[in-house]
């Protein structure tokens, strides 16, 4: 089981397939297994060297209970540590939700490592919805889930609630304390191919569409009837535009 070491913490990752490298970053409360479960990995590895990893606090990666460990800067260092461990210099990046937040961070910290960006349900504007986690320490699973539903502005299914309860919620509550200030200034630096997508039943839809419209090299795909949680579950809707986008890029 491979691990990258990032600031003395273990980050679990997997590499599958051959071709141009493609780094996948899942969303909050998820893990790299989500890419496999919802059908992304099996399709993408037929064309790309797919590198997926468990973000700090998730899956089989380390789970510190210190909020400072989950800064955007540190999460980008974790992603870069995975790339270094996999001996990848430049990569296509595909991030959903939390993963998209990290994608914006990589534009700031290591743009030379990016070949393209695919960002799902993630925008660069100030997001104060995470303030619902203030006072949530993860010791009460129901309070954690209720806060997450408030953040998303949508109900979470019983099946997903069960998966969330299986996490180290103290670690995730610590991660959720990180502020999400505006990163709008990064748009001027995003001179690379970008694909944005978001469900039209996701509260972030308008902001994501507006982001894509402001970038000369960006495309936007709206997923009809899809919620925030549904955005990664609907691989049949997401994979075709992703494969088309990547297939039109050089190399």
- On whether residue 82 sits in a domain, the answer given is yes
Per-residue model confidence (pLDDT) at position 251: 66
Q: What is d(CA 124, CA 134) in angstroms, rounded to the nearest whole number?
A: 21
| Rounded mean pLDDT, 232-249 | 96
Per-residue model confidence (pLDDT) at position 159: 86
Tally of structural domains, the chain: 1
Q: What is d(CA 97, CA 117) in angstroms, rounded to the nearest whole number?
A: 13
Element (H, E) at 95: strand 91-96
- On whether residue 111 sits in a domain, the answer given is yes
Within 13 Å of residue 242, how many CA atoms lie on the same side as its CB? Answer: 27
Q: What is d(CA 229, CA 127) in angstroms, rounded to the nearest whole number?
A: 17
How is residue 122 written in tokens? 């993630």
pLDDT tens track for 84-131: 999 999 999 999 999 999 999 999 999 999 999 999 999 999 999 999
Average pLDDT along the chain: 97
Question: CA 18, 22, 28 angle in degrees (round to 5)?
Answer: 135
CB 12 within 8 Å of CB 32: yes
pLDDT tens track for 75-93: 999 999 999 999 999 999 9
What CATH number is given to the structural domain containing 90? Answer: 3.40.50.1820
Element (H, E) at 47: none
- On whether residue 14 sits in a domain, the answer given is yes
| Rounded mean pLDDT, 50-58 | 99
pTM for this predicted structure = 0.97
pLDDT tens track for 209-226: 999 999 999 999 999 999
Q: Give the DSSP letter of residue 97.
A: T
- On whether residue 9 sits in a domain, the answer given is yes
- On whether residue 22 sits in a domain, the answer given is yes
β-strand 49-53 against 9-16: which pairing, if any? Answer: antiparallel
Backbone angles phi, psi at 215, to 5 degrees: -110, 130
Secondary structure class of 126 (helix, strand, coil): coil
Closest of 184, 20, 207, 46 to residue 114, by C-alpha: 20
Q: Where are the alpha helices (DSSP H) in the chain?
A: 33-37, 40-44, 72-85, 98-109, 141-152, 158-165, 169-175, 205-213, 230-233, 235-247
Per-residue model confidence (pLDDT) at position 120: 99
- On whether residue 36 sits in a domain, the answer given is yes
- On whether residue 167 sits in a domain, the answer given is no
**Parent domain of 234:** 3-126+182-247
CB 100 within 8 Å of CB 93: no
Q: Is the dihedral of CA 2, 24, 131, 154 positive or negative?
A: negative
- On whether residue 74 sits in a domain, the answer given is yes
Looking at the chain, the whole-number percentage of residues with pLDDT higher than 90 is: 96
């Amino acid at each position: 089981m491979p691990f990258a070491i990032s600031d003395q913490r273990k980050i679990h990752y997997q590499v599958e397939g051959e071709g141009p490298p493609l780094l996948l970053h899942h969303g909050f409360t998820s893990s790299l297994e989500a890419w496999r479960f919802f059908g992304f990995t099996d399709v993408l590895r037929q064309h790309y060297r797919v590198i997926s990893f468990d973000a700090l606090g998730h899956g089989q990666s380390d789970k510190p209970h210190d909020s400072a460990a989950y800064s955007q800067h540190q999460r980008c260092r974790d992603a870069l540590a995975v790339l270094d461990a996999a001996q990848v210099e430049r990569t296509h990046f595909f991030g959903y939700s939390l993963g998209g937040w990290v994608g914006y961070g990589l534009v700031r910290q290591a743009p030379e490592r990016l070949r393209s960006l695919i960002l799902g349900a993630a925008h660069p504007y100030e997001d104060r919805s995470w303030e619902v986690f203030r006072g949530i320490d993860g010791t009460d699973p129901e309070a954690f889930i209720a806060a997450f539903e408030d953040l998303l502005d949508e109900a979470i299914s019983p099946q997903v609630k069960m998966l969330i309860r299986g996490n180290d919620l103290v670690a995730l509550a610590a991660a959720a304390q990180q502020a999400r200030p505006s990163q709008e200034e990064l748009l001027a630096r995003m001179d690379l191919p970008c694909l944005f997508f978001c469900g039209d039943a996701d509260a972030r839809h308008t902001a994501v569409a507006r982001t894509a419209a402001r970038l000369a090299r960006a495309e936007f795909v709206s997923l009809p009837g899809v919620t925030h949680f549904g955005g990664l579950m609907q691989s049949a809707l997401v994979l075709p535009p992703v494969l088309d986008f990547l297939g039109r890029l050089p190399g």
